[in-house]
């Protein structure tokens, strides 16, 4: 483990950081009703870098009104599919033209390695283009033959329609990706949006909303209200919001679902995980060992589908654990702005303390630390990538989501046993399988109760493939046809032809 010196941002980012705190409502900067604001912290230094407006219920109400007006307006509602697609393409182009600025802002606010920020910006542009294509392929079904007969005749069809005004509540672990995975399909479906970014990372959402305006997306179609959980709760509770798409912790997701029930509000939840990464003896170890390490250490383990439970077939256990521990020890830790660094900080002091507490708990539960295990004695919220062994499956550190770079490795004997171990969790988001045996891979993929299974790879996503969780990892899907349908209502129309 090597620690670097911290590098600084470019001039366009510096200008953005010193501006007055504001929300983005109806296509312009608007002060929060309360006049309150809060500090935005660079987790790599622990120091404030900007001030954000603290939006509350009154601001949410203002944003919902703006979004409703925009939803009803011909300038948005009556756009042809081609024109809507063109706007999304233009938005993608504008984002790419500002890629460097967005990447620096993302890293400064979140701490992630800049390569990950650059990936999420390129991916966001691609998602917009992917959904631009889908906007033109939205079609209902014609069903006259099935509903007619016995003396009755109907012309019957279904029409997909935008669900309406949508509240998009995003987490801090991937602010740009978390924004665009929701905004791109929502816009393509014809919805209007209020985004409530996480309080730790409000900056890139504001910049992305400004860039949407620059691309020609009409005022009020995309609004951003920065603030805390009370602003998110006000969004969920607002009767003018037709749907909530939420990404965050399972605990908060449960309260979102309870509150959404008051209005039978459509709800998509993308929540926590405790995902297994499984390595068989017959795996190509040159892929499996780095794959298992990347599964947990990417973005400092602050990933909902992080492979935080590593299961290795017994004969290969020592080799794989030593390999993953060696990678943990070799990863360069430091500011994400320095391209030489592979591991950034935890998002906050609170999050670092949470990981430190889990590590202490793992030791108390009898676990052995074979790599890492300590916070760094320097500015910023850094912690060493950590590998545990020797823990029972009942240990809290094996069962609870940590959201940090901490993996617990456990040996197994056969497929039956590892299927049971993998499924021994309330979560069901991801699972990795490393094997060179085709039938084993498919058989285990079918047995694992997880929304995403990766064979000989980990964490791959694509907008054409649905992403989401079984069990307490979520409700519904993002991406794929399912993710697009989540921003649509289906209407059935019957026209009586019996009069003729």
Residues of this chain that bind ligand ADP (CB under 6 A) = 169-171, 196, 198-199, 228-229, 232-233, 236, 248-249, 252, 255-256
Of 106, 199, 210, 270, which residue is the catalytic one? Answer: 270
DSSP β-ladder status, 154-162 and 192-196: unpaired
- Concerning whether 457 is annotated as a catalytic residue, the answer is no
Q: Which is nearer to ligand ADP, 62 or 182 (CB)?
A: 182
**Residue 285 backbone dihedrals phi, psi, to 5 degrees:** -65, -20
- Smallest separation (angstroms) from ligand ADP to the CB of 380: 18
Of 199, 277, 304, 401, which residue is the catalytic one? Answer: 304
Q: Which residue is nearest to ligand ADP (CB)?
A: 232
- Smallest separation (angstroms) from ligand ADP to the CB of 201: 9
Q: Which is nearer to ligand ADP, 88 or 198 (CB)?
A: 198
Assess contact for 440 and 421: CB atoms under 8 A.
no
- Which residues in 450-474 are b (16+ Cβ under 10 Å) and which e? bbbbbbeebbebebeebbbbbbbbb
CA geometry: angle 441, 274, 2, nearest 5 deg = 100
Q: Which is nearer to ligand ADP, 252 or 313 (CB)?
A: 252
- Smallest separation (angstroms) from ligand ADP to the CB of 92: 25
- Alpha carbons 473 and 148: distance in angstroms, whole number: 43
- Alpha carbons 401 and 303: distance in angstroms, whole number: 10
Sign of CA dihedral 382, 384, 385, 386: negative
- Alpha carbons 116 and 169: distance in angstroms, whole number: 21
- Smallest separation (angstroms) from ligand ADP to the CB of 235: 7
- Smallest separation (angstroms) from ligand ADP to the CB of 225: 10
- Smallest separation (angstroms) from ligand ADP to the CB of 494: 39
SS3 33: coil
- Alpha carbons 31 and 25: distance in angstroms, whole number: 10
E strands in 317-472: 368-371, 386-389, 406-412, 430-434, 452-455
- Concerning whether 416 is annotated as a catalytic residue, the answer is no
Active site (catalytic) residues: 270, 304
């Amino acid at each position: 483990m090597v620690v670097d010196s911290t590098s600084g941002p470019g001039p366009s980012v510096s200008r953005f950081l010193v501006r007055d705190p504001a929300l983005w409502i109806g296509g312009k900067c608007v002060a929060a009703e309360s006049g309150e604001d809060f500090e935005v912290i660079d987790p790599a230094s622990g120091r404030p870098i900007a001030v954000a407006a603290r939006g509350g219920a009154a601001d949410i109400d203002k944003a919902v009104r703006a979004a409703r007006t925009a939803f009803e307006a011909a300038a948005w509602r009556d756009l042809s599919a081609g024109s809507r697609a063109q706007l999304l393409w233009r938005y993608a182009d504008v984002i790419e033209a500002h890629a460097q600025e967005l990447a620096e802002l993302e890293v400064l606010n979140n701490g992630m390695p800049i390569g990950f920020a650059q990936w999420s910006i390129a991916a966001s542009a691609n998602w917009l283009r992917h959904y631009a294509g889908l906007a033109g392929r939205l079609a209902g079904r014609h069903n006259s033959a099935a509903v007619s007969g016995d003396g009755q005749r109907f012309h019957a069809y279904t029409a997909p329609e935008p669900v309406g005004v949508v509240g998009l509540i995003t987490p801090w672990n991937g602010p740009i990706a978390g924004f665009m995975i929701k905004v791109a399909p929502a816009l393509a479906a014809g919805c209007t949006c209020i985004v409530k970014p996480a309080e730790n990372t409000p900056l890139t959402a504001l910049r992305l909303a400004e860039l949407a305006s620059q691309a020609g997306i009409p005022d009020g179609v995309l609004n951003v209200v920065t603030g805390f959980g009370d602003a998110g709760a006000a969004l969920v509770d607002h009767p003018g919001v037709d749907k909530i798409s939420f990404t965050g912790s399972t605990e908060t997701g449960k309260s979102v679902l309870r509150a959404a029930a008051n209005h039978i509000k459509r709800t998509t939840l993308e929540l926590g995980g405790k995902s297994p990464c499984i390595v068989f003896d017959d795996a190509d170890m040159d892929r499996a060992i780095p794959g298992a390490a990347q599964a947990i250490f990417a973005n400092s383990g602050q990933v909902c589908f992080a492979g935080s439970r590593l299961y290795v077939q017994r004969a290969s256990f020592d080799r794989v654990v030593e390999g993953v521990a060696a990678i943990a020890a070799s990863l360069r830790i430091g500011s994400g702005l320095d391209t030489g660094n592979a591991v950034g900080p935890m998002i906050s002091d609170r999050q670092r303390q949470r990981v430190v507490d889990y590590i202490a708990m793992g030791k108390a539960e009898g676990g052995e630390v074979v790599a890492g295990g300590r916070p760094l004695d320097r500015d910023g919220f850094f912690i060493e990538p950590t590998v545990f062994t020797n823990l029972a499956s009942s240990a809290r550190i094996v069962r609870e989501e940590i959201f940090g770079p901490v993996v617990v490795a456990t040996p197994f004997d056969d497929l039956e046993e590892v299927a049971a171990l993998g499924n021994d969790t309330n979560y069901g988001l991801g699972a990795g399988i490393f094997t060179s045996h085709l039938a084993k891979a498919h058989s285990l993929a079918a047995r694992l109760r997880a929304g995403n299974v990766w064979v000989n790879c980990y964490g791959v996503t694509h907008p054409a493939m649905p992403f989401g969780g079984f069990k307490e990892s979520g409700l519904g899907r993002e991406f794929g046809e399912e993710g697009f349908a989540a921003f649509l209502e289906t209407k059935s129309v019957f026209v009586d032809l019996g009069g003729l």
